[in-house]
């Protein structure tokens, strides 16, 4: 048995590190955190200085059991989780759960998974940093307190199943407020003029008028003065300029740049970066430092000299603009600069290429430019046309890399200009004026939201990706696309001394892959902003992050910090729970022309909907769910009334009614006992009978049996997990070894028989009378099943020893608790009415 046990977080990292250490070491993975706060209950003893109640998570019991056995046999245990706060907490929890106080235990950290770094870490162990652990505990406890106390209020005041989070809710606020800015924005038009000149050498020179006009008449008057005018070069300036490279990547900047250059989501970037790190290709990817180690700088100098020459080398040390950045850490960089590319999947190769180029470029010489400005005047007015351009004299770092920016537009400054001289006469071939409208603020992309959060000091490198994923998973925000609207704009043109006017059409407001708040996201945000101003305040959230930093540095006691927050927060929670009004985002649209009742758009128990009539009317209100592309905040009365046309019978086909409707999972066509989804790009309101028949026929063809076996039809389909066949109520996955489009009868029999064999082997024991069965599950465990109740048992379970009494108790203990019947809200009203009647 090995003398040394090294524990890391991930199996991929364990495999890489094992190759660097000798036979005296065994490297095992904890698969992340092994303990957490319990899922049920708050899990915090508030009266006992906010003591967290940690428990081994159900999916880690076998992992902990294995690590306990290995650590008991090892002479020394090396806790080698990541060097951030989460990693320190993982090591601390392992120390406690594995009972390592009587064991020789050492904490080691490394910024990169290379042989040199691992050996250096082993030679320089340290103690667990309890300050970092406390900072992580403070974040976990504070977030649990906020979520646990605020979420039930949302269930009661808005809609069941909602949740609130400290950083997530503030992130949603940013997106909602930007959307409201866009909705309120009123565009202002102006006229921009561009002239196309011909030089003495017959070259073309494009120049822009330095003044813009606010009205069409002003533009026309300007062009009138240009008829017959003589143009010449009034001034010519050439100035040297330079561009400097960007700093190496931090977590924030790599998320932004991978989004802009590669189209990666924030979560995808972090997932791929994690793979690169665990494979030993890059340094640790959760960092807010722009530092590079002396070893890295030396390697970079050698690499740049060898690849591009000494004149391209310019070693720099960057300073982080973020005052809370941990300068002891390093920026994200390759571990071996000689590897310009790596093997691996496409995502890993692309991201590594980006990291390599950005890091190398950061230590390269400035790009040297020559910028040219040409001013052009005329003899009939005082207006100036100006042409700007630049020439790269020495490319420097641009030879390798150039940073992208959000919402980039074509930069006229970078065009190459023809050679001209001062007082040289120019011929104006044409002067074009175009009406342009001011643009509303841009919606956030995932990348620009990360940038904004970092600017405000909200969250830290490890929180950006999970925060953005969480607000989407909760249904508060979605990555949406807008087709935009059309509008008219005017153009003017002066050519051959004649002014021509035209009116053209353009599309505006179109957006692709931008973060947009949902109806429920807007209503929840507005409620939280109204009643939890402190928690939703940007500055307050940033101050909390700063407090975590102080805890990590040992300046502040974490329980005192939580206590200061909680005493005020809990008072607000109790006040809101008692006194806040219910929030529905209700908006009155108008009057129903048929019933004369008011029509409202609001959030209901099952989501956004339209309501005709009031809840206290004698006749019950009518309801209709709105479509996914609609919003309660901008739906019109006409659009709302169309929703009540559903369900709508389109006609009859093959002796069955064809009905179109909207259900929980979207619009559909109902035919016989089949529900056929309508493609999301098609409006169910406009669906014709002929198109419905097409969808029906496609469904019938897809569902038609492809074979029969043992008296049951076999059908084919494709689902979330790939292609499958359905037989006797079983869904059987079809692996890639089969040609799914051309399955033979022999293939089908093989798939079914294989499924039957697996199912028979899975059932270990059965209690038929009680309809209870014990099945094999993954990782050597067992599942005890009765109807919809499934209880996971550990692999230490002895199936033969279980009695009926024991399994019935296990099932009963895990059965969903029956809710007490809700009291009818009408009871008090009814009583009041009766009392009034008696009087």
Residues identified as active-site: 284
For the packed helices 558-579 and 130-157, what is the interaxial angle rounded to 10 degrees? 0
Interhelix angle 251-262/346-362, nearest 10 degrees: 120
Residues with Cβ within 8 Å of 489's Cβ and at least 6 positions away in sequence, in order, are 189, 434, 435, 436, 437, 503, 504, 505, 506
Burial 717-730 (b: 16+ CB within 10 A, else e): eeeeeebbbbbeee
3-state secondary structure of 111: coil
| Residues 488, 437: Cα–Cα separation, whole Å | 11
Q: Is residue 241 within 8 Å of residue 510, measured between CB atoms?
A: no
Supply 66's token pair. Answer: 């294995």
Helix (H, G, I), strand (E, B) or coil at 496: coil
Question: 49: which 2 tokens?
Answer: 């200085």
Q: Find tokens 């004698």 and name the residue.
A: 618
Residue 166 burial class via C-beta count within 10 angstroms: exposed 0-12, middle 13-18, buried 19 and up: buried
Number of residues written out for the chain: 839
* DSSP states along 577-598: HHHPPP----EEEEE-TTT--E
SS3 533: helix
- Type and span of the H or E element at 715: strand 712-719
Q: What are phi and psi of 633, to 5 degrees?
A: -85, -15
β-bridge partners, 5: 26, 77
Cis amide leading into 682 (omega within 30):
no
According to DSSP, the residues that pair with 56 across neighbouring strands are 35
- Specify the DSSP element, H or E, that contains 186: none
Q: 491: exposed, middle or buried (C-beta count within 10 Å: 0-12, 13-18, 19+)?
A: middle
Helix (H, G, I), strand (E, B) or coil at 731: strand
Q: What does the angle CA 698 – CA 700 – CA 704 come to, to the nearest 5 degrees?
A: 120
CA distance 9 to 12: 9
Angle among Cα 176, 182, 186 to the nearest 5 degrees reads: 150
How far apart are the C-alpha atoms of 317 and 314, rounded to whole Å?
Answer: 10
How close are the terminal C-alpha atoms of the chain, in Å? 90
The number of helices, as runs of H, and strands, as runs of E, in the chain is: 22, 34
Is the alpha carbon torsion for 593, 596, 597, 598 positive or negative? positive
């Amino acid at each position: 048995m090995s003398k040394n046990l090294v524990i890391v977080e991930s199996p991929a990292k364990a495999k890489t590190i094992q190759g660097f250490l000798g036979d005296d070491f065994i490297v095992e993975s904890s698969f992340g955190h092994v303990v957490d706060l319990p899922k049920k209950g708050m899990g915090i003893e508030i009266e006992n200085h906010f003591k967290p109640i940690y428990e081994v998570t159900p999916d880690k019991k076998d992992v902990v059991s294995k690590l306990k056995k290995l650590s008991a046999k090892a002479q020394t245990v090396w806790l080698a989780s990541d060097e951030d706060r989460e990693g320190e907490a993982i090591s601390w929890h392992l120390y406690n759960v594995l009972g390592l106080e009587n064991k020789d235990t050492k904490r080691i950290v490394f910024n990169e998974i290379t042989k040199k770094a691992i050996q250096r870490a082993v030679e320089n162990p340290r103690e667990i940093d309890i300050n970092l652990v406390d900072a992580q505990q403070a974040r976990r406890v504070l977030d649990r307190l906020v979520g646990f106390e605020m979420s039930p209020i949302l269930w009661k005041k808005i809609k069941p199943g909602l949740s609130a989070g400290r950083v997530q809710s503030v992130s949603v606020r940013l997106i909602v407020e930007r959307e409201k800015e866009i909705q309120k924005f009123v565009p202002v038009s102006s006229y921009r003029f561009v002239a196309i000149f011909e030089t003495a050498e017959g070259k073309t020179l494009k120049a822009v008028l330095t003044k813009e006009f606010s009205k069409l008449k002003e533009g026309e008057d300007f062009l009138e003065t240009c008829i017959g005018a003589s143009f010449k070069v009034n001034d010519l300036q050439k100035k040297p300029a330079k561009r400097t490279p960007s700093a190496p990547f931090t977590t924030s900047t790599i998320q932004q740049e991978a989004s802009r250059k590669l189209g990666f989501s924030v979560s995808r970037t972090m997932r791929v970066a994690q793979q690169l790190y665990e494979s030993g290709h890059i340094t640790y990817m959760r960092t807010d430092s722009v530092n590079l180690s002396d070893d890295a700088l030396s390697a970079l100098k050698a690499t740049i000299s060898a690849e591009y020459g000494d004149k391209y080398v310019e070693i720099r040390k960057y300073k982080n603009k973020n005052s809370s950045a941990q300068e002891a850490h390093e920026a994200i960089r390759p571990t071996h600069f000689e590897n310009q590319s790596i093997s691996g999947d496409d995502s890993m190769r692309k991201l590594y290429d980006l990291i390599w180029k950005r890091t190398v470029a950061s230590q390269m010489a400035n790009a040297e430019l020559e910028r040219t400005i040409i001013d052009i005047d005329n003899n009939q007015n005082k207006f100036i046309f100006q042409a700007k351009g630049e020439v790269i004299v020495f490319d420097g770092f641009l030879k390798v890399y150039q940073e992208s920016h959000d919402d980039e537009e074509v930069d006229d400054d970078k065009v190459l200009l023809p050679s001209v001289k001062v007082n040289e006469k120019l011929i104006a071939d044409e002067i074009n004026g175009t009406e342009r409208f001011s643009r509303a603020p841009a919606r956030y992309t995932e990348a620009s939201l990360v940038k904004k959060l970092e600017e405000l000091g909200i969250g830290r490198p490890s929180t950006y990706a999970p925060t953005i994923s969480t607000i989407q998973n909760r249904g508060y925000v979605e990555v949406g696309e807008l087709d935009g609207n059309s509008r008219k704009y005017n153009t003017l043109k002066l050519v051959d001394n004649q002014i021509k006017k035209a009116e053209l059409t353009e599309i505006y407001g179109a957006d692709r892959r931008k973060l947009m708040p949902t109806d429920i996201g807007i209503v929840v945000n507005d409620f939280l902003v109204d009643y939890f101003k402190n928690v939703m305040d940007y500055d307050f959230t940033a101050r909390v992050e700063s407090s975590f930093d102080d805890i990590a540095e040992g300046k502040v006691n974490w329980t005192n910090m939580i206590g200061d927050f909680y005493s005020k927060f809990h008072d607000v929670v109790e006040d809101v729970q008692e006194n806040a009004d219910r929030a529905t985002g209700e908006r009155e649209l108008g009057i129903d022309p048929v019933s004369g009742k008011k029509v409202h758009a609001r959030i209901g128990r099952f989501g956004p909907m339209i309501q005709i009539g009031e809840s206290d009317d004698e006749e019950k209100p009518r309801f209709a769910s709105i479509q996914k592309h609609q919003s309660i905040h901008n739906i019109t009365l006409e659009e709302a009334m169309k929703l009540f046309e559903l369900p709508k019978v389109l006609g009859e086909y093959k002796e069955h009614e064809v009905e179109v409707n909207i259900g929980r999972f979207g619009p559909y066509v109902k035919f016989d006992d089949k529900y056929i989804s309508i493609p999301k790009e098609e409006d169910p309101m406009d669906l014709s009978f002929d198109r419905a028949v097409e969808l029906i026929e496609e469904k019938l063809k897809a569902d038609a049996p492809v074979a029969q076996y043992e008296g049951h039809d076999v059908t084919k389909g494709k689902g979330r997990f790939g292609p499958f066949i359905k037989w006797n109520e079983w869904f059987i996955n079809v692996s890639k070894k089969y040609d799914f489009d051309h399955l033979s009868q022999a293939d089908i029999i093989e798939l079914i028989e294989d499924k039957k064999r697996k199912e028979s082997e899975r059932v270990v024991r059965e209690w038929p009378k009680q309809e209870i069965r014990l099945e094999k599950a993954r990782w050597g465990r067992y599942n005890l099943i009765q109807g919809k109740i499934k209880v996971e048992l550990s692999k230490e379970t002895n199936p033969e020893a279980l009695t009926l009494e024991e399994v019935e108790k296990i099932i009963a203990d895990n059965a969903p608790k029956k809710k007490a019947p809700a009291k009818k809200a009408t009871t008090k009203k009814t009583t009041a009415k009766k009392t009034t009647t008696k009087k």
